[in-house]
Structures are given as C-alpha cells and as structure tokens.
Structure 1
Amino acid sequence: MALRRPSTIGGACYLTVLAVAAAGLIVVATGHWRAGVDLLAASLLGSALARGVLPEDEAGMLQVRSKFLDVSLLIGVGGVLIWLASTVPNAG
C-alpha cells in the first residue's frame, strides 16, 4: 500500500501534531513524565496555532467544529496540561 501525501496544509500540520504527541507519550513511558506532558501540551498548542491561522479550506483534519471553539478548546487543554505538569509535587 502506497502512502499518500496530505492534500491540505492542515493535513500536514495534523501529522506533525500526531508525531509530537507520540514523542510525548514515548517520553512519558521512559519515566520523564513532566517533559512528556509538556510535549503533549506543545502539540495541542501548536495545533491551536495552526487551526487559528489556516483558512477553513486548508485546515484539513484540524477542523472539527467552529474555528473559535477548536482554538479555545485546544488552548485550554494545552494550558491545563502545562499547569498540571508544573504544579504536581514530586513524590518522595
């Protein structure tokens, strides 16, 4: 099966977001959970930026709901992840 290129800029951004999120999960699995959660949050914030900047016809799979709601939710969840990773105390 041949791989296809994304048909929109948003599709390429979506694949980048997935790659960064996967890297974050790998970092979490190796025991560095704060850095991994920060990578996950960065992927969400990056997708919010891409969704906010790209026009509707180029957003690809980043477009789920209205632009305002998509960007608001992505920024909110990304911000909460950063906040949680920075405020949870170390065990011990």
Structure 2
Amino acid sequence: MPRSRGSQFYLVQLVAVVTGLVLVALGQWRVGVGGIGVAFVVGAFARSVVPIDHTGMLRVRGKAFDIVWMTVLGVALVVLPFLIPDQPG
C-alpha cells in the first residue's frame, strides 16, 4: 500500500475507474460511465483536502488545475448517461 495519503486516494480512484470500464465493457455503460465520473469528483475533492506534501501520485499539475479539471470531467461523465436517450433494440 502506498505511504502518502494522495497515492492511496489515487489507487482507490484507479480501482473505481477500472471497475467502471469493466461495467462499460459488460454493457452497463450508464452505470460504468457514472461511476468513473464519481471517481473523478472524489479525486478532485481529495486533491483539494490532502496537504501538498502528501499528494503523491494524485498531483499532476498545479492544485487549481487538478481540482477544476477533475471536477469538470467528473460532472460531465456523471451527467452524460442522463442526456443520452435509450436506443431501441
């Protein structure tokens, strides 16, 4: 298990994204994409509260950029399944 709190959050986020991708591959794309979006929103929250010296792999760019980018991406992925109508067949 990683030592830094940020790396632990990163690992949890990675597992959540992989789980979402598996759900998408199994045909449950709405749940999978929504789960990936939630993982990014949680990652953005974690990036905002974890101190800079404990961010580890969670830190990619500057703090503000990481938080804004992960939040925008996460919210977009959570909203996406609700915007696409069901397809017949």
TM-score interval, smaller chain: over 0.9
- Aligned-pair Cα RMSD in Å: 0.8
TM-score by length of 2: 0.94
Cα offset for 1:66? 1.1
1:14 & 1:24 partners in 2: Cα distance? 15
Q: What pairs up with 1:43-82 in 2 under 5 angstroms?
A: 43-82=39-78
Structure 1 spans left out of the alignment, 5+ residues:
none
TM-score normalized by the length of structure 1: 0.91
Paired residues of 2:34 and 2:79 also in contact (CA < 8 A):
no
* Post-superposition CA distance 1:28-54 (Å, at most 9, x none): 111110000011001101110110000
Which structure 1 residue ranges, 4+ long, deviate > 4 Å from structure 2? none
| Fraction of identical pairs, as percent | 35
Count of residue pairs brought into register by the alignment: 88
Deviation readout 1:53-79 (Å, 9 max, x if unpaired) = 001100111111111110000000011
Number of the residue aligned with 1:37:
33
CA distance in 2, matches of 1:8, 1:44: 19
Question: Structure 2: where are the runs of 5+ without partners?
Answer: none
